[in-house]
Structure 1
Amino acid sequence: MPSQETILVHNSPEDEVVASPATQTVPSPRYPLSPLFRPSLIYAESSAELCEALIHIVLGWFSFYQAGYLHRDISIRNVFLCPSPVGQPAFEISSDFRQTATKSVEDLTLLLKRLSVEAGSHELSDIENQMMRVERFVQELGVSTSCSAFLIDSDIAAPWATCLGSEPDSRKRSGNPEFMSRGLLRSIELNSKYLQSPVDDLFSVYWVALWAILNNTHTSGRSDAEVRWRTKIAEGRLARADASVDICGLVELEETSYSPIVQEWSPALDSWFQSLDRLDDGWRRQKARLSRGLKPGDSPGGFYLPLSHYFALRGVADFLEMIKPHYTELRNCLPFT
C-alpha cells in the first residue's frame, strides 16, 4: 500500500532536516538515512515500487511547500528510495497552511473585485475544494505512516516571500536543466523574466519519473527506440519533449518489443503529462490576468502567493487523481527483469 512520504532537506553533508507538514519553518536536524544508503529511483524493482515512491515524493514536496518553501531543484540526484520503511507522522494539510491559503485567496478575491479585474476569482475561491480533493485521494490511495521515498537538497529552496513576493526576475531561476519545466527552460533560452512556481516543481517530478523509467537498472532488453530516448532526455528541451511524446503515444503495447517498464508506464505518463499541461495552462492564464491588476506600489506577493497556494494544492490533487487508476494496475505488474 502507498505510505506516508517524508521530505528530507539537505543543507550540508552533516546536516539534514525533515520538513514537518505542521510547521511553517524547517525543524531541527535529523539523520534518518546515511548518505551511503540512498538508492536512486532508477533502482526501483517494480512499477509498483516506483509508483509508490512518486506518490510519496509529491506529498513530501507539498509538506515542504506548506512549511513555507518552494524547492526549485527537483532532480534524479535528490530523490531517493528508502531501503527499508521509515515511520513518519500521518500526512495532513496543516491548520496553519489551511488558514493562510484560504485567507490569502479571500483577500485577493476582494482586491480584484475592487479593481474590477476579471481574473477567474471563481476558480481561486475553489481552494477549499482542492484541499478536500488532496485529503480524499490520500485516503483512497491508502497512504499510511511508512515512508518509502524522500527528497533532499534545500540549498536553493526559497521562502514564498522571496520567490513569489516580487516581480518575475530572470536572475532568480534555479534547477537542473534536465528536469526543469519547459517554460522555465524556455525563459533561460530567451533570457526572459520568469516567475518560478509550484507548477515548475511538479513538472520536474514528471521528468524525474521519465528519467527513472528509461534508466532503470533492473530492466534488460531495451529496444533501439528506448536507447535513443534515454539519450534524448539529456539533450535539451526539444529533444526531451520529442522522447516524451513518443513514449506517451505508444499504442498496441502488447505487440511491441519495448521493455516491460516502458509498456507499463506509457499510459500513466500520457495521463500525467496531459494533467500537467492543463495545470500549466491554468497557471499561465491566471497569472496573466492577475498581472494586469497590479498597480505601481502594489505588493506582488498579494497577487502571486494566493495563486501559488491554489495551484500547489490543485497540482497535488490532480496528480493523485491521475495516478490512482494507474497505481491499481501498476501494483499488479511483475518485478522488472
Structure 2
Amino acid sequence: GVLHRDVSNGNILRLWEPIERPHSRSTSLPELGKDVNLTSCRGFLADLDHSIEWCKVPPTLSRNRSGTLPFVSMRLINAWARNRPALHTAVDDLESFMWVLVWSLVRIFKKAEKITDDSATINLLARAFSSCDSFVILGKGVIVEFWRERVFGDLIQEWLRISSGSHRFLAQVEKSLSASESRNDADLQKRAWDGLEKYCGEVYIKFIRAGYAHLENIRGYGDWGAVIDEYSRFKAVLNNDRVRLVL
C-alpha cells in the first residue's frame, strides 16, 4: 500500500459527481461484516510528493518533517518539537484524517453567526490550525479532548483514543528499529516491520469500524446547517445547566 504522509485539507479532493470504478470487484469489507459500495469513487488523495510505497520503501526514523504541520499526528509533532527522530506510520495518516474533520468543523462554526457562546474554544482551535509553532499546534489535542460537539464529537473522541492508544506500541517499534540500525541486525528490523504492518492493519480496521458505528447518527443531519443548529442547541442547554447550578 501507499503511505501518503501528507493527509491535509488541501490534499483531500471530493468529486462533484461520483465516478464508477468498473474494475473494482470488491463490494464488502470482511472486517465490518457488511456490504459497502466500493465501486463508486467520491474523492481521492492528491499530492503524492511525500508518499512512499510501504512494501518497497519502508519509512525510516527521521527528524525531518513530512506533511502539513497542523494536520500531522500529535505523536509526530511532539517528537519533532523535541528534535527526536520519529517514524511516520499509517496510524499517523489515519489521525490526520481526524484532524481534517476537526478543521472542517472549526471553519464552518467560525462562519456561523449563531455560535457565539463557544467562540473561545473555536478561536483557540482556529489559532492552532493556522499556526506554524509546534507547541501551539499541540494545544489542539488538549482542547479537542474536552470539546463538546454533538454530531461528530463522539467519533472524533473515539478516533483520538484509538490513535493515542497506539503510542506505546509505536515507541517500541521505533526502539527496535533504532537498535537494528546500530547493530546492523536485519532480522530484528524485519521482525519490527512485520509487527508494524500487522498492527497498522488492526488500527485501520478499528478506525473504519468506528466510522461506520457513528455513521447512522451522522446521517441524521442532512446538511451543515443542521449540524450548526444541533451544536447551537446543545451549547444552549449546557449554558442553562450551568446557570441553574450557580443559582
Fold in common (TM above 0.5):
yes
Q: Which residue among 63, 66, 73 is the counterpart of 1:170?
A: 63
Q: Which residue among 297, 311, 318 is the counterpart of 2:184?
A: 297
- Does 2:143 match 1:214? no
1:159 is matched with 53
Kindly report which structure 2 residues correspond to 1:91-102, keeping only aligned pairs within 5 A, or say none.
none
1:188 aligned counterpart, secondary structure: helix
2:162 is matched with 275
**Cα distance, 1:143 vs. partner?**
3.3
1:136 is matched with 31
Unmatched 5+ stretches in structure 2: 226-247
After superposition, what is the alpha-carbon deviation per residue over 1:280-334, rounded to whole angstroms, capped at 9, x for unaligned? 3332234435655677232365234313321321121010121222111001113
Q: Greater relative contact order: 1 or 2 (C-alpha under 8 angstroms, separation 6 or more)? A: 1
Are residues 324 and 91 of structure 1, via their aligned partners in 2, closer, same or farther at CA, if it must alter by over 3 Å? Answer: farther
**Cα distance, 1:136 vs. partner?**
2.5
* Identity fraction in percent: 19
- Does 2:151 match 1:264? yes
- 8 A contact 1:248–1:267 mirrored in 2: no
Q: Which amino acid aligns with 1:280?
A: H
2:88 is matched with 196
Q: Please give the alpha-carbon distance, in whole angstroms, between the structure 2 residues aligned to 1:311 and 1:219.
A: 40
Q: Which amino acid aligns with 1:310?
A: K
Are residues 291 and 191 of structure 1, via their aligned partners in 2, closer, same or farther at CA, if it must alter by over 3 Å? Answer: closer
2:239 is matched with none
- 8 A contact 2:90–2:200 mirrored in 1: yes
Q: What is the aligned residue count?
A: 217
Are residues 184 and 228 of structure 1, via their aligned partners in 2, closer, same or farther at CA, if it must alter by over 3 Å? Answer: closer
2:240 is matched with none
User: Which TM-score applies when normalising by structure 1?
Assistant: 0.56
Q: Please give the alpha-carbon distance, in whole angstroms, between the structure 2 residues aligned to 1:245 and 1:178.
A: 14
Unmatched 5+ stretches in structure 1: 1-65, 93-131, 252-261
1:243 is matched with 140
Are residues 326 and 141 of structure 1, via their aligned partners in 2, closer, same or farther at CA, if it must alter by over 3 Å? Answer: farther
After superposition, what is the alpha-carbon deviation per residue over 1:209-267, rounded to whole angstroms, capped at 9, x for unaligned? 1112211389623331323322223334444444343344245xxxxxxxxxx431111
- 8 A contact 1:199–1:280 mirrored in 2: no
Q: Which residue among 2, 10, 13 is the counterpart of 1:80?
A: 13
